[in-house]
A and B are shown apart, each in its own frame.
Chain A
Amino acid sequence: MSPERITYHPGDSFLHRLHPLTKGAWLIFGTVAVFVVRNPWAVLAVVALLLAGFPLAGVRLGRVRGTRLFASTALLLGLLQVLFIREGAVLVEIGPLVITAGGVEAAFYVAGRFLSVVLLSYLFVLTTEPNDLAYGLMRAGLPYRYGFALITALRLVPIFEQEGQIVYNAQLARGVRYDVRSPRRFLTLARQFVLPLLVSALGKVDALAVSMEGRCFGKYPARTFLRQTQATWLDGVAMGLLVLGVVAVGYWSLEIGGS
């Protein structure tokens, strides 16, 4: 079975039900926190917590595209720290191979932080309807022109992906071979691939401009919204925990920094 795309997975878990902006706030906090916290066990605890989030969200991480890539990247990053950092007590020494406590600690930090950021982003993307996010941002004050630029991008990306596949198929059907390796040939193939997509995109822009202007987009500096993306008690709890987290991480970093 082909891997699942890194895109919104519909569901009804508590992560799905959180307001997109609450999840956005946690994404930012989590990303900052793993870099501020100076304890490898805390970083590992964050990774474990995030891994537990996937079954709770009803998503099988192993089946999502890119999982193997980021797991092996984390492993490689960790391995490089272990092999090349020589600080602190020597744990193992076999010929030229020297593993130190500092190297192991650095491996936990680097791999853990990398994994934390990737897993946080995955959880956010897999449980957040992009449309809800865009409308949430607009309701929170983002100028609606920018919000709809985001929505248009969300709408057009899969269309262009599909069209890219059609153009590629059409090239194969006309006898184009993609197995010729030379810079000149590469440039020719790239031009022949991009040009049809560009022409198609320009046509879509024209149609979209007619459609948007024909429905008074941009007539007024502000607009109304039918959608009501309401925060719930769950968001209250999540934001409360976030505040506690900010205080704890702030205190911890100051304490460590001061001591």
Chain B
Amino acid sequence: MIQIEGLSFCFRGSPQYALYDLNLRVEAGAFVVITGPSGCGKSTLALAIGGYLFRQFDGEATGNVSVAGMDVRNSPIYDVAEVVGLVQQNPEAQFCTLTVRDEVAFGLENRCLPRAEIRERMAWALSIAGAEHLSSRSLASLSGGEKQKVAIAAMMAAKPQVLIFDEPTSNLDPTATAEIFEVIEHIQAKAGITVLVIEHKVDYLRRFQPRLVEMEEGRIVRDGPMPPPGNKEEAPRSPQAVTSSPPLVRVENLHAGYNGHPVLSDLSLEIQPGEFVSVMGDNGSGKTTLLHCLLGLRPPEKGRVEMLGHDTRQTPVSELARQVGFVFQNPDHQIFADSVWAEATFAARNLGTLDKTTEGRVTDLLIRCGLGDRLDDHPYRLSYGQKRRLNLVSVLSYRPRLILLDELLIGQDSAHATFLLDLLWEHVLEGGTVLMVNHAPRITRRYASRLVFFNSGQIVVDAPTGSAIAQLRALGKDAYVA
């Protein structure tokens, strides 16, 4: 079905090839998982198979790509689109309309199909994606997992022979992740099409026995059946909280929400210095809202948030920021300076704490993050993983007492995630405190001293990690203990 021979591609202005002399052959009806470190060329490969790489992106290409006998490099994109569907990472970014019906019908209407056929195909596509119940909804009202199901249905409606999923679960919680993988497996089994899934979380897909293709630096370095699970679980680290000190954070009966919609209700929490707290829960359960309340970015509707002894209602955020660092979800939303060095020292400069010691620490951190030779580069020229490391360095630079992290690990492969967490671990060993929203049970087990689990705006589990995981298992939250 797919035949790639000697494919190389170099984006204009890039010093290295995104794909280099890549060869791949995929039989019709195969289920292939493509994995590899962040920035290794997985998404570029998906764009190449769909033909977009050669038309929408500027660069130099050599080699051949053929899908269902069609020369992808030299065929009109509309012809390739009849055979290949691509579900992208962020469903929000690929929607073209405002409602579920319009979205699923969009591609069919563009193909000028008659209304009766559109209805028939739409019903089939929604059914196979497990999204029939969403048909009358607006896209804005859907959860992350529901949006991804609609994005899948929108692609399936065209009845492609090949469907590519580019990290379809990177923004989803473990429950929604498991659901989406079920949908993908169902599609592959029922529709009999060729499925390629680009994914870091390969363990979720193991039970479907796919073929595993591993990439590194634009090449395929391993291709074969999925290996059996290794016993990679490392011994948990156990940071010791300083329980004799007054708590860093004291939240009492907090109620908070957006535009009249309650998100957090009657939430109470204390965090001691030296803790490494993992915050987990389904998307929309209130985790991010809590972080915003802790830094005073969102005032409580009721209740009280005390941060380092200050009432957040009465203390400016810029004052709290001296002692509390915050890393947001999307790296691009928190880059403000024109060079890597200026970005790494941005917060320290704003807070008036940039001195020789801080400069030395930043230099050391940047070297360890592999950015030592990129100091004068614009941060937006960095790869996703490098930007993430820079985000963390810019917060670690001024050594805040508490660091709040909102899904730092999205899109990070295991090695990069471990590197980031080791930096945070050092921060804890030096007396800092970490509160990290994440969806990674394995990471939580290894690093966190305490697990706080959210459900519908309330804390339902709050205990040392080991016993919290047992409680989650008892609550049937298996996706969070895998």
Is A bound to B?
yes
Chain B 274-306, CB within 8 Å of chain A: the 1/0 string?
000000000000000000100101000000000
Tell me if A213 counts as interface (CB < 8 A to partner B): yes
Whether B92 lies near A159 (C-beta < 8 A) is yes
Contact of B109 among A1, A203, A206, A225 (CB under 8 A): A225
Cα distance A44–B115 in the bound complex, in angstroms:
48
Tell me if B19 counts as interface (CB < 8 A to partner A): no
Find residues 336-355 in chain B having any chain A CB closer than 8 Å to their own CB: 336-337, 346-347, 350-351
Whether B333 lies near A166 (C-beta < 8 A) is yes
- B314 partner residues in chain A, CB cutoff 8 A: none
Tell me if B206 counts as interface (CB < 8 A to partner A): no
- B50 partner residues in chain A, CB cutoff 8 A: 210, 214
A2-B259, A158-B140, A220-B110 known; A227-B351 Cβ under 8 A: no
Whether A173 lies near B81 (C-beta < 8 A) is no
Whether B94 lies near A207 (C-beta < 8 A) is yes
Tell me if B318 counts as interface (CB < 8 A to partner A): yes
Tell me if B102 counts as interface (CB < 8 A to partner A): yes
Whether B334 lies near A216 (C-beta < 8 A) is no
Q: How far is the CB of A212 from chain B (nearest CB, A)?
A: 6
Whether A175 lies near B77 (C-beta < 8 A) is no
Whether A219 lies near B98 (C-beta < 8 A) is no
- B328 partner residues in chain A, CB cutoff 8 A: 166, 169-170, 173
Tell me if B237 counts as interface (CB < 8 A to partner A): no
Tell me if A176 counts as interface (CB < 8 A to partner B): yes
Of the 9-residue stretches A72-80, A104-112, A194-202, which lies at the interface with chain B? A194-202
Tell me if A35 counts as interface (CB < 8 A to partner B): no
Whether B336 lies near A171 (C-beta < 8 A) is yes
Cα distance A166–B329 in the bound complex, in angstroms:
10
Whether B93 lies near A207 (C-beta < 8 A) is yes
Cα distance A208–B56 in the bound complex, in angstroms:
11
Q: How far is the CB of A215 from chain B (nearest CB, A)?
A: 3
Whether B260 lies near A2 (C-beta < 8 A) is yes
Whether B102 lies near A172 (C-beta < 8 A) is no
Tell me if A259 counts as interface (CB < 8 A to partner B): no
Find residues 152-176 in chain A having any chain B CB closer than 8 Å to their own CB: 152, 154-155, 158-159, 163, 166-167, 169-176
- A222 partner residues in chain B, CB cutoff 8 A: 112
Of the 9-residue stretches B7-15, B319-327, B407-415, B472-480, which lies at the interface with chain A? B319-327
Tell me if A209 counts as interface (CB < 8 A to partner B): yes
- B295 partner residues in chain A, CB cutoff 8 A: 172-173
Among residues of B, the one whose C-beta sits closest to the C-beta of A218 is B110
Chain A 105-137, CB within 8 Å of chain B: the 1/0 string?
000000000000000000000000011000100
- A70 partner residues in chain B, CB cutoff 8 A: none
Contact of A203 among B85, B107, B111, B332 (CB under 8 A): B332
Whether A224 lies near B112 (C-beta < 8 A) is yes
- A195 partner residues in chain B, CB cutoff 8 A: 335-336
A174-B350, A175-B318, A215-B107 known; A200-B332 Cβ under 8 A: yes
A2-B259, A131-B102, A213-B52 known; A173-B95 Cβ under 8 A: no
Whether B56 lies near A210 (C-beta < 8 A) is yes
Whether B85 lies near A214 (C-beta < 8 A) is yes
Q: How far is the CB of A152 from chain B (nearest CB, A)?
A: 7
Cα distance A219–B347 in the bound complex, in angstroms:
49
Contact of B94 among A176, A211, A220 (CB under 8 A): A211
Q: How far is the CB of A227 from chain B (nearest CB, A)?
A: 7
Whether B325 lies near A173 (C-beta < 8 A) is yes
Q: How many residues of A contact B (CB 8 A)?
A: 52
- A130 partner residues in chain B, CB cutoff 8 A: 98
A173-B326, A207-B88, A211-B88 known; A217-B347 Cβ under 8 A: no
Tell me if A184 counts as interface (CB < 8 A to partner B): no
Among residues of A, the one whose C-beta sits closest to the C-beta of B138 is A131
Tell me if A181 counts as interface (CB < 8 A to partner B): no
Interface of A is mostly: helix
Whether A174 lies near B394 (C-beta < 8 A) is yes
Whether B96 lies near A151 (C-beta < 8 A) is yes
Whether B85 lies near A169 (C-beta < 8 A) is no
Tell me if B374 counts as interface (CB < 8 A to partner A): no
Q: How many residues of B contact A (CB 8 A)?
A: 69
Tell me if B17 counts as interface (CB < 8 A to partner A): no
Q: How far is the CB of B119 from chain A (nearest CB, A)?
A: 7
Whether B318 lies near A177 (C-beta < 8 A) is yes
- B325 partner residues in chain A, CB cutoff 8 A: 173
Whether A210 lies near B350 (C-beta < 8 A) is no
Tell me if A223 counts as interface (CB < 8 A to partner B): yes
Tell me if B195 counts as interface (CB < 8 A to partner A): no
Whether A224 lies near B118 (C-beta < 8 A) is yes
Whether B94 lies near A208 (C-beta < 8 A) is yes
- B66 partner residues in chain A, CB cutoff 8 A: none
Cα distance A192–B168 in the bound complex, in angstroms:
31
- B335 partner residues in chain A, CB cutoff 8 A: 195-196, 199
A158-B140, A219-B110 known; A173-B297 Cβ under 8 A: yes
Whether B95 lies near A211 (C-beta < 8 A) is yes
Cα distance A91–B335 in the bound complex, in angstroms:
64
Whether A215 lies near B81 (C-beta < 8 A) is yes
- B122 partner residues in chain A, CB cutoff 8 A: 226
- B297 partner residues in chain A, CB cutoff 8 A: 169, 172-173
Tell me if B99 counts as interface (CB < 8 A to partner A): yes
Among residues of A, the one whose C-beta sits closest to the C-beta of B114 is A224
Tell me if B101 counts as interface (CB < 8 A to partner A): yes
Tell me if A29 counts as interface (CB < 8 A to partner B): no
Contact of B96 among A148, A173, A199, A200 (CB under 8 A): A148
Q: A2-B259, A131-B99 are in contact. List 14 more A-B contacts (CB 8 A).
A: A151-B96, A155-B139, A166-B330, A172-B295, A174-B347, A177-B318, A199-B335, A208-B94, A213-B55, A215-B154, A215-B155, A219-B111, A220-B111, A227-B102
Top 3 closest pairs, chain A to chain B, by CB: A215-B107, A175-B350, A211-B94
A-to-B contact residues, CB < 8 Å: 1-2, 130-131, 135, 148, 151-152, 154-155, 158-159, 163, 166-167, 169-177, 192, 195-196, 199-200, 203-204, 206-220, 222-227
B-to-A contact residues, CB < 8 Å: 47, 50, 52, 55-56, 77-78, 81-82, 84-86, 88, 90, 92-99, 101-102, 105-115, 118-119, 122, 139-140, 154-155, 158, 259-260, 292, 295, 297, 317-318, 321-322, 324-326, 328, 330, 332-337, 346-347, 350-351, 380, 394
**Residue contacts A-B, CB under 8 angstroms, 10 given:** A163-B333, A192-B337, A195-B335, A200-B332, A208-B96, A211-B96, A215-B106, A216-B107, A224-B112, A226-B105
